[in-house]
Amino acid sequence: MTSAKVAIVMGSASDQATMRLAADALENLGVECETRVLSAHRTPEALREWVDSLEGRGVRVVICGAGGAAHLAGAVAALTTLPVIGVPLVAPI
């Protein structure tokens, strides 16, 4: 079980390079974080299970990075009362 305080989730593995910058910045500040790749569209049940587990594991803020329709932040916010920060990413054309 992790003791992360910030959770970073992205909609696709192609978002990892960009969202890694957020994780690195948090780690440099001494803030524990975890990252996951989960899609609100392709894996909605896995996303729900992960979000449901956050508070119990000490997570206090969720950062969501997604391109395209960028529904991930809204989907996460609908499932939790934790603060959710949405990061719009450039979607591949």
Q: What is the pLDDT of residue 91?
A: 66
Q: Is 46 left (phi over 0), alpha (psi -120 to 50) or beta?
A: alpha
Answer for the pair 61, 6: CB distance below 8 angstroms, yes or no.
yes
What is the distance between the terminal CA atoms of the chain, rounded to a whole angstrom?
38
Answer for the pair 31, 58: CB distance below 8 angstroms, yes or no.
no
Looking at 3.40.50.1970, 3.90.79.10, 3.50.50.60, 1.10.10.60, the CATH number of the domain 6-88 comes to 3.40.50.1970
Confidence of residue 6 (pLDDT cuts 50, 70, 90): very high
Amino acid at 22: A
Q: 1 pLDDT exceeds 50? A: no
- Delimit the domains of the chain by residue range: 6-88
Q: What is the pLDDT of residue 78?
A: 97
Q: What is the pLDDT of residues 29-45, one digit of tens each?
A: 999 999 999 999 899 99
Q: 74 pLDDT exceeds 80? A: yes
